[in-house]
Structure 1
């Protein structure tokens, strides 16, 4: 994945944000620029999120009351996304903008600080897990939505944000949020029950990138990975050597890789240790409607079933 921690990216992000902020004053002249975000013009209040997972969660809580759009489209990489002027102008016209926070959308922060749109960070209230990597001491792992426990905090924050801009529909938002939370609970319970059937030695989640720290913590999995979040090196010989030793020494039955990264290094770990490739996990983006994870609940369910299947002897 592109590296948020690299100085060149921070500088580029600042330049990009500054240029886009300047363009806000020229909105009437630029509404046709780019092919990005388009908000409906039917008089309703509108909601914009930074990426597809948050948009889907918000649509579930809104239940069609409010239009919800994502700046980033399905399949796109959230870490290194470069918003178009059209994206940012549309976001500026929204009634509320929802982001993840925890350092995920560094490309968005300068805009948020200067925009008049209401802004809500959905990871508010989540206990951060620090990234285990040199040079990133204290930086939080941003993938908090991958934990069903944290997801319920996201849902509550979405419910409250929508209620503030559309209080007449507060009961609808409350009811939808409660139903959505129950469905998240069902997936979490499935994962806990199935993992509880495995011998302790098999309860290890080894992935390409360290995007599952929150999930591993909450469901009792030992976590390891080839490279940490926002690493400036991915799949290096030393990372492969270290992970190979760990998988062999701890007799980890299966290893996994995320959909947005190359699994070549993890394939090598599997070949050298005899571990299975447990399957592809989804993290940062939903798929198109006909794909494997068109909704956030599908993403959670897919990953839960893939992890259980891989560690218990199957593979997806």
Structure 2
């Protein structure tokens, strides 16, 4: 503290900053620091970058990116990163504000770039907008990881071939996942492929696998369904005898629990929609998340 009370303090402080600039944190010297918007992207970046990257997620496991509010510590993390990876498609409405307030000038990789977004009804009657939950279709995730590999390769040319090899090996795992899921779904009659979830996050999965998803909430967990919409959904559940009812790990389950009670059905195990589980949980990687969700969905739809 005496340093700031002496005449020498400007020189000492300048020397301190110079030393800091010359000697960045160990993680930055050994690995590329990458900041991602939410946990699913964190897993994908780790898969592509492996031991060449150090990944930090702004929105962690079991947390809701729809209602996330950046803090001062997040701006600090952003300024220490060399690459920011976001989903895009309007998912992280807070990203631009964070980048601007932090003064971040580094590269930003949009993982969903090149994906044809599905259109869905916007909240509060504002017409249609793009559904941002593109990762729910594993064929889209193949595009995600290739975009991530390209961004890392541009930042780190020496690791380019490794990033590409890691990516193509992972794409094969995605293809196996996709084939297994299609086999499971094919065993369920088409008229039984109906599911109720907390919010409308599974549109891409439904389109890809031929499952009809219904939700009391809209695309964002910030939306509040009207009593009329809930009553309409209850009637549909009862009329179509839908037993496959689920909540998500980052959603408020009270609404769906009440809906299930009124409709006379019991919610199944939680699904993972916009966030992974914590480490050691049933969905702590993207591949585990998708397999977990598919197992629960298939079991639920068989009860319809």
Which category describes the TM-score, using the shorter chain as reference length? 0.7 to 0.9
Q: Distance in 1 between matches of 2:31 and 2:244?
A: 49
Determine the structure 2 residue equivalent to 1:184.
174
Q: CA deviation at 1:130?
A: 2.4
Determine the structure 2 residue equivalent to 1:72.
59
Say whether residues 1:270 and 2:260 are aligned partners: yes
Determine the structure 2 residue equivalent to 1:35.
none
Name the larger-Rg structure: 2
Q: CA deviation at 1:124?
A: 0.7
**Unpaired runs of at least 5, structure 2:** 1-16
Paired residue for 1:248, among 228, 238, 252? 238
SS in 1 for 2:256: helix
CA shift in 2, pair 1:220/1:166, >3 Å: same
Paired residue for 1:122, among 108, 111, 117? 111
Paired residue for 2:74, among 68, 77, 87? 87
Q: CA deviation at 1:272?
A: 4.3
SS in 2 for 1:142: coil
Q: Distance in 1 between matches of 2:107 and 2:155?
A: 9
Q: Distance in 1 between matches of 2:74 and 2:276?
A: 19
The alignment yields a C-alpha RMSD, in angstroms, of 2.3
Normalising by structure 2, report the TM-score. Answer: 0.84
CA shift in 2, pair 1:275/1:196, >3 Å: farther
Q: CA deviation at 1:49?
A: 0.7
Q: CA deviation at 1:99?
A: 0.4
Q: How does 1:22-41 map to 2 (within 5 A)?
A: 40-41=27-28
Say whether residues 1:160 and 2:150 are aligned partners: yes
CA shift in 2, pair 1:244/1:205, >3 Å: same
- 1:113-135: CA deviations, max 9, x gaps? 65211011111111112232443
Q: CA deviation at 1:111?
A: 3.6
Q: CA deviation at 1:92?
A: 2.3
**Unpaired runs of at least 5, structure 1:** 1-27, 32-37
Paired residue for 1:216, among 206, 219, 241? 206
Task: Tell whether the 8 Å contact from 1:131 to 1:228 is kept in structure 2 after alignment.
Answer: no
Say whether residues 1:45 and 2:32 are aligned partners: yes
Determine the structure 2 residue equivalent to 1:284.
274
Say whether residues 1:234 and 2:234 are aligned partners: no
CA shift in 2, pair 1:265/1:293, >3 Å: same
Structure 1 residues 190-199 or 239-248, which shifts more? 239-248
Q: CA deviation at 1:153?
A: 1.1
SS in 1 for 2:234: helix
Q: CA deviation at 1:39?
A: 8.6
- 1:220-251: CA deviations, max 9, x gaps? 11221112113665354323211112222223
Task: Tell whether the 8 Å contact from 1:98 to 1:120 is kept in structure 2 after alignment.
Answer: yes
Task: Tell whether the 8 Å contact from 1:191 to 1:308 is kept in structure 2 after alignment.
Answer: no
Q: CA deviation at 1:260?
A: 1.7
Task: Tell whether the 8 Å contact from 2:64 to 2:251 is kept in structure 1 after alignment.
Answer: no
The alignment of Structure 1 onto Structure 2 pairs a total of residues equal to: 279
Say whether residues 1:132 and 2:125 are aligned partners: no
Structure 1 residues 249-258 or 270-279, which shifts more? 270-279
Q: CA deviation at 1:137?
A: 1.8
Q: Distance in 2 between matches of 1:39 and 1:297?
A: 31
Normalising by structure 1, report the TM-score. Answer: 0.81
Q: CA deviation at 1:309?
A: 1.3
